[in-house]
Chains A and B, each alone.
Chain A
Amino acid sequence: MSGVVLEARELRVRPFGARSERRGGTESGFVLEIEALDLHAGEVLAVLGPNGAGKSTLLRALGGLEMPERGQIVAHTSGPVAMVFQRPLLLSGSVAWNVALPLWGAGMPRAERRGRAQRALAHFGLEALAERRGITLSGGEMRRVALAQAFVREPAVLLLDEPFDDLDARAQEMLSLDLRSAIGATGVAVALVTHDLRQAMLLADRIAVLLGGRLAQAGMRADVLRRPASAEVARLVGMANLLPGSVVGRDESGYAVVEIAGECRLRAASGLAVGTSVLAGIRPEHVKIDVGRGETSVLGKGLVARTLHDGVLVTAWIAWAGHELRTVAIAGRGLGHALADGDEVPFAVRPEDVHLIRR
C-alpha cells in the first residue's frame, strides 16, 4: 500500500452546534478525540461505530467542514477531497446539472464540464436519468447521483457518510460493485463511516472502530474481526459469543485452556498467563456444527435452543456451559438442511478461532 494521503493528528473536535442541534440533548458536550488516523492512497477505510460515536463529525473534520479545537488534518495531495453526505442534497435542476455542479463551482468551462459529467453519469449507470429532475429520484438513484457528483471532481480523497443506508440489500450490492470499480479505476482513497458491519465489509480494506468519540481500534479488516481489542469492539464487529472464564493451564500443544463453567473448557491460541480472567470470544461462523471424522477441536455436544432461517443462512443458538453459542450454517446444505430446535449436535471450535480478551 502506498503513501498516506490524509492524516489526522492529536485531533480534538467539538461539533459546532452540538448542544442546540442534536436531539434529546444527551450528547451535549460531545467531543471527538483522535490521536492518530491515516488514510492511505488506494485504500478503503471503514469507520465503524454505533450512533452518536462521532462518525459524521470525524468525516466532516477530515473533509475540512468542522474546525478542530486542537490538532490538525494534513492532506498530502493536491487533489480535491470530495464528500457524500448521508442524505445527499440535490438541487432543483436536472441530474446532469447536479452532477456537473462541482465543476461549475470550480469555474470550469461549459464544454469541458459536459464531457466530464457524461463520464461520471455513465460510471454510475445514470445516463438514462440525466435529464430527470433531481427531486424525482428514488433514494438509491439519489445516492448514485451524489457519488457521480463526487467522482466528477476526480478526487484524491472520497469521504462517504453511511453510503448504503436506507438501501435494500440488492441496491446495496449493486452500488458497492459500482463503487468498487470506480474506486479501482481512479485509485481514490476512501474513508466511509457506517454503523453497520455488513455495509463496512462490502468495501473496507481496513477498519477503524469509533466508540464514544474515541478510536477503540484500527487495523486490517481480518485482524479487527478476529482480534477485537475489547468486548465492546467484539460486539460491534460481530463476535457474538463472549464467554466469561479464566485461563487454568496449557495443553501439550501450548494452547491456553480456558474454563468456562465446571467441566466445560475450551482451548485458545493465546499467550495470556494462567489465572487471567478473560472473555473468550468466538465468531458465530467459527462455531462449526458440521463435525466430521477426525475433527480435533470438538468441544462437546449442545442442545439447539433456537433457530432462525432467513432463506440463505440458518442461525442457531446452541446451549452449552450455561451460555447460548450463536452459530451460522448455510440453509439447505449439510446440517443447515435439517437443523431444528431441540436437536442435540456436536460442535467444534478451533483454538485459533478463540480470541481471549482480558476482563
Chain B
Amino acid sequence: MSEPSFATLSEIALRTLVVSGSALVLAVALGLPLGLLLGGRRFRGRGLAVSIVNAAMGLPPVVVGLVVALLLWRSGPLGSLGLMYTPTAMVIAQVAIALPLVVGISHAAVGALGPEWRLQVRALGVRGARALWLLLRETKLGLLAAVIAALGGILSEVGAVMMVGGNLEGETRVLTTGILMYTQMGRFSEALALSALLLGITFLLAGTLTALQQAGRR
C-alpha cells in the first residue's frame, strides 16, 4: 500500500468534518426542541420518556451501529434505500448516538430553572418567541454543554461508523476509522498524523463552543 498523500489526509479530515458536522447539526436540531419540551412541560408519560433518554445516553455505540446496520442492510427494512456503506449511514448512526446526549443534557438544563419558570415568564407578560429567547438565554450554559457533549460523542466515535460506513477508501473513511486501520496495519506514523488532526479539530470546535458558552459570564 502506498504512503497516504497530504491530499488523502485532508480528504479524510474534510469528510470527517462534513459527516460529523451534519450529524451534530441534525442531532441538535432534533434534540434541543425535544429537550426543551421534556424539561419545561408536564405531560403524561414524561417520567418514562426521561428514563428512556437517560438510558439511551449510555448506549454503547457499537450496539447503535449494529441496529443501524440491521436496518440499512440490503435485506433489512430500509435496505431498498441503498444507504449501507455511505456517509449518510454514518450520519444516521452518529445522530442516534448524539441525540440522547443532546436531549438528556438540555432537558436537565431547562429542568434546573424550576417548575415555576414558565409561569413567572408568562406572568411578566412575555410570550411566544420572546419567551423562547429568554429560555435559550437563561439555559445557554447547559444547552451548549449538550452541544459540546454531542460533538465529543460524534467525533470520537469509531465502532458504529466502522460498521455502517465500512471505512471505504475515498468514500467512507474518516479520521477515527483511519486511525484504527493504520494502527492495525502497524503504520503508526499515519495513525499518529490522523490522531493529531482529530485532536486539533476537537480542540478547535470544543474551544469555540466553550468561548461561546462562557461569553458574558462572570
**Using a CB–CB distance below 8 Å, which chain A residues touch chain B?**
16-17, 20-21, 60, 63, 65, 80, 82-83, 85, 87-89, 91-92, 101-102, 104-106, 133, 149, 153
Contacts and interface: CB of A to CB of B under 8 A. Distances in A.
Contact of B42 (A20, A85, A91, A133): A20
Contacts of B116: 85, 87, 89
Contact of B124 (A17, A21, A149): A149
B126 A89 contact: no
Contacts of A17: 42, 115
Contacts of B130: 104-105
B113 to A, nearest CB: 8
A105 B42 contact: no
Give the dominant DSSP class at A's interface.
Answer: loop
B125 A91 contact: no
Contact of B126 (A60, A82, A88, A101): A101
Range of interface residues on chain B? 10 to 19
B137 A106 contact: no
A65 B115 CA distance: 13
B124 A102 contact: yes
A63 B123 contact: yes
Given A82-B124, A102-B124, A105-B130, 7 more contacts: A85-B120, A85-B123, A88-B120, A89-B116, A105-B124, A149-B124, A153-B125
Contacts of A92: 137-138
A20 B42 CA distance: 10
B123 A65 contact: yes
B119 A91 contact: no
Q: Residue among B124, B130, B138 with the most chain A CB within 10 A? A: B124
A87 B122 CA distance: 15
Given A17-B42, A91-B134, A92-B137, A60 B125 contact: no
Contacts of B125: 80, 82, 102, 105-106, 153
Given A21-B115, A89-B116, A105-B130, A82 B138 contact: no
Given A89-B116, A91-B137, A65 B124 contact: no
Contacts of A133: 218
Nearest to B128: A105
B55 to A, nearest CB: 21
Contacts of A65: 119, 122-123
15 contacts: A16-B42, A17-B42, A20-B42, A82-B124, A82-B125, A85-B116, A85-B123, A88-B120, A89-B116, A91-B138, A92-B137, A102-B126, A104-B130, A133-B218, A153-B125
Contacts of A101: 124, 126
A63 B120 CA distance: 11
A87 B42 CA distance: 21
Nearest to A92: B138
B187 interface: no
- Which 10 A-B pairs rank lowest in CB-CB distance, beginning with the nearest? A105-B126, A83-B123, A89-B120, A102-B124, A102-B125, A17-B42, A105-B125, A65-B119, A105-B130, A85-B120
Interface in B150-193: none
Interface string B107-142: 000000001110111111111001100100110000
Contacts of A80: 125
A133 B218 CA distance: 10
Contact of B117 (A21, A89, A102, A104): A89
A92 B125 CA distance: 18
A104 B125 CA distance: 9
Contacts of B126: 101-102, 104-105
